[in-house]
Structure 1
Amino acid sequence: MADILYFGRLGDVAGTHSENLDIPATVADTAALRRWIDTEKSAGGAFLEASVRLAVNSEIVVDPHPISPSDEIAFMPPVGGG
């Protein structure tokens, strides 16, 4: 099972800040994972926004990056501060 982490507002959208998921075999990269998670969470496109970054096993990656069922995958929205 993959460890999925949701940071910032994405945790609110997902209804949790972390979970273990069985990712379907058809979801083989980060671009497909974004689409699948967005559909599963009825997120209205929140996970598809270009400003949302992904990290796979603590390394920031660019879509489409391969994923495996045992990966830790983090969804990170942009952060503003002052």
Structure 2
Amino acid sequence: MIKVLLFAANRESIGKEQVEVEKSNISVSDLKKVLESEYPGSSFQHAMAAINESFVPDDEIVKTRDTVAFIPPVSGG
């Protein structure tokens, strides 16, 4: 099981701070696709990913018991 932490628009559209996904040994990119199919209206394509508090590329493999955070793009002024 993978714990996924949600922020900003995805937290609002899904209505939860975190969800659990019954997958393992999948890429971050595939995890994004799984989440978008399970939660219509969510968008993870431009979000940065962190596994266990370390930023990773989309081809990184997520394992059982990992915690993944998807950080949406932010802008400032």
TM-score w.r.t. the length of structure 1 is 0.80
| Residue ranges of structure 1 left out of the alignment (5+ in a row) | none
CA distance in 1, matches of 2:47, 2:62: 17
Select 2:41's aligned residue among 40, 43, 48. 43
| Residue ranges of structure 2 left out of the alignment (5+ in a row) | none
CA distance in 2, matches of 1:20, 1:63: 19
Select 2:28's aligned residue among 5, 25, 30. 30
Cα drift, residue 38 of structure 1: 0.4
Identity of matched residues, %: 25
CA distance in 1, matches of 2:63, 2:14: 21
Q: How many residues align?
A: 77
Indicate the SS of the match to 1:47.
coil
Give the partner amino acid of 1:47.
Answer: F
Q: Give 4+ residue runs of structure 1 displaced > 3 Å after superposition.
A: none
| Residue number in structure 1 paired with 2:21 | 21
Indicate if the aligned counterparts of 1:10 and 1:76 stay in contact, CA closer than 8 A: no
Structure 1 or 2: larger strand share? 2
TM-score w.r.t. the length of structure 2 is 0.85
The RMSD of aligned alpha carbons is 1.7
Q: Is the aligned partner of 1:54 residue 2:52?
A: no
Indicate the SS of the match to 1:20.
strand
